Structure 1
Amino acid sequence: MDNRTNLDDYLAELGISEADESVTPPPMPDASDSAPVQEAADTDARGTLERFLRGLIARIDPELSVTVREVDDALEAEISGENAARLAGRDGRTLGAIEVIAYTVLSKQEGRGDTRVRVDIGGFRKRQADTLSKLAERLAIGVAKSGEPHELQPMPAAERRVIHIALKEHPDVMSESVGEGASRRLVIKPRHG
């Protein structure tokens, strides 16, 4: 297992940046904790994710804050602050990259490749989910009226999931994912029977 705890080590290894001595990572949690082994592993994973994200945002905007919580089988992180929304990037691309890097750090440092990582910045994911839910409802009305299926453009699994959930209980239409890999897309079609 890799014991590096400083973002500078990751960045230096990638050739992105030299160490910035003005920002010190938060202290490591005390290993003498008497929590059960699985709970301790979850706490370590949460702590690793939180330390990584705090180190990252400290270099971008020290006014931002990070909260990490465990939800079901995932760790959810929220980055908030006055200018947080700008950090999400165009169409959430920067947010997506941060999420991938955070998962990679967690996987490599804690050996936790089985833990899902979800990051939201300034409520971007929530707004995106609301927009997708409204889109799903509008498309469902159109499909119900026309009786013809509607195929959406390829989209990431998280976005397809939002639409599936929005239409799960819809009386007139159903949704399914088709295709493989990056070209996987969602089809909304009339519910028969």
Structure 2
Amino acid sequence: MKKVTASGKTVEEAIEKALVELNTTREEVEVQVIEQPQKGLFGLFGGKPALVEVEKKPDSIEEAMNFLNVLFEKMGVQVDIVVKPENRETVFDLQGEHIGTLIGRRGQTLDSLQYLVNLVANRNSDGYLRIRLDAENYRERRKQSLEQLADRLANKAIQTKKTVKLEPMQAHERKIIHTALQNINGIATHSEGQEPKRYIVINPR
């Protein structure tokens, strides 16, 4: 039950009755006053109670999961979503067969799904929610791969004393590269180009 109609002597009393029936709090509902209370003749006869309609606000995480489940069903893949709160974000860990299809080349499909699911989660949210999609620990494996790449190309720039340009990457992957190289002596990094073809440049000092 996500919507109830309740009555009371006052609007607040009617709302409280609805909250009890919904087993929720005032912050988690939207209230529509259908009728204001009316006093009867001489305050005794023919009065009308307040009437309100109280509806629970959509749960953003639940909406995001429903969106993905419908999408996966249309794609014909069987996926279980394990929700893991982590620091200031919520991780949706995708588990099942043929997960590689959902990851895509260098995580492009996974990143696209993540972008869409964040749009869905935040369309009715009061504050910004951050959902991170992961599958088969891909995010950590990709992070390690990028850090190894960064180390190898930094050494190349130092040894050859020539500028090294990386292929275009998304912003979160460029951040991994910059972070991995920020404390290495003998090089400096910056990004060039416009999205989605923005790339990192490693300069020897």
TM-score, normalisation: structure 1:
0.65
Distance 1:145 1:154, change over 3 A: same
Higher relative contact order (Cα pairs below 8 Å, separated by 6+ residues) = 1
Matched, 1:57 2:83: no
Aligned positions, number: 156
Question: Match of 1:61, as an amino acid?
Answer: V
The structure in which a higher percent of residues are strand is 2
Contact 1:81 1:122 in 2 (8 A): no
Aligned residues with identical type, % of pairs: 26
The answer for unaligned runs of 5 or more in structure 1 is 4-29, 38-42
Matched, 1:129 2:129: no
Question: Match of 1:152, as an amino acid?
Answer: L
2:123 maps to: 108
Distance 1:98 1:142, change over 3 A: same
Distance 1:177 1:116, change over 3 A: farther
Contact 1:74 1:116 in 2 (8 A): yes
Deviation at 1:49, TM superposition (A): 2.6
1:184 maps to: 198
Does the residue aligned with 1:165 lie in a helix, a strand or coil? helix
After superposing on structure 2, the runs of 4+ consecutive aligned residues of structure 1 that deviate more than 4 Å are none
Equivalent-residue separation in structure 2 for 1:137 and 1:163 (angstroms): 9
2:81 maps to: 66
Equivalent-residue separation in structure 2 for 1:47 and 1:187 (angstroms): 41
1:32 maps to: 23
Distance 1:186 1:120, change over 3 A: same
Equivalent-residue separation in structure 2 for 1:31 and 1:134 (angstroms): 53
1:22-69 per-residue CA deviation (whole Å, 9 max, x = no partner) reads xxxxxxxx96356x87xxxxx94333333333443355333x321223
Q: What pairs up with 1:99-178 in 2 under 5 angstroms?
A: 99-110=114-125, 112=127, 114-178=128-192
Equivalent-residue separation in structure 2 for 1:158 and 1:132 (angstroms): 11
Does the residue aligned with 1:143 lie in a helix, a strand or coil? helix
The RMSD of aligned alpha carbons is 3.1
Greater radius of gyration (CA) = 2
TM-score, normalisation: structure 2:
0.62
The structure in which a higher percent of residues are helix is 1
Equivalent-residue separation in structure 2 for 1:116 and 1:177 (angstroms): 25
Q: 2:61 aligns with which of 24, 39, 46?
A: 46
Deviation at 1:137, TM superposition (A): 0.9
